[in-house]
Structure 1
């Protein structure tokens, strides 16, 4: 079931699942040591699909200092890839952003290899690629 929750609405179990899978994907799987716990979770909306206590897909959004909406930590757990969850997760995330914040631009930082996925939703690159924690990224925007 898809859920959209503020930090205060999360259960301890949900928060644990999110942090565990974010670490598994972004730190271990991608071999990219960085500080996942960045202080933004308390200000974020956490979008997830959990079935039988297992996290299948997750993203978070928050309002940036410049007033845009930032989508981040987009993931589908390893054993659930190839089942269409990525596109469904991102479509749900984007729809939520557009419904809740219709006047705001939406930004994200994409790993370079997957930028075409985000471009298929209308995102445009707005800066040159850059290296972040050993992975090449591009900044993208949807106005």
Structure 2
């Protein structure tokens, strides 16, 4: 049996909901809501290349940068590609777009979230946040 043989409809909806929760938490600058989406042993590489190991490091970084993050604009997050590695592990590509408060697109990112299903709940277990560079 492969992952393509399993009905993943509910899981796909749940993965989209996690990314939507990232979007909502980021726009609200709500560090607690954002951090609640992570596995305790998560690893994260920021868009600037900083490696964060575990929820304590992710929390310290988030609490330092998230307040005030929307003063010049806001970002949107949308899952656009999901690949199940196993029924409880998914790779989720995210379309991240940064807008000015006037609604003008100013930058883009292309995060990859590795999500795992823990006790029936999808959480971010590893992530790489990558800026899109226009060449």
Query: Does TM, normalized by the shorter one, top 0.5?
Result: no
Please identify which structure carries the higher strand content. Answer: 2
Q: The TM-score by the shorter chain falls in which range?
A: 0.3 to 0.5
TM-score (norm 2): 0.33
TM-score (norm 1): 0.31
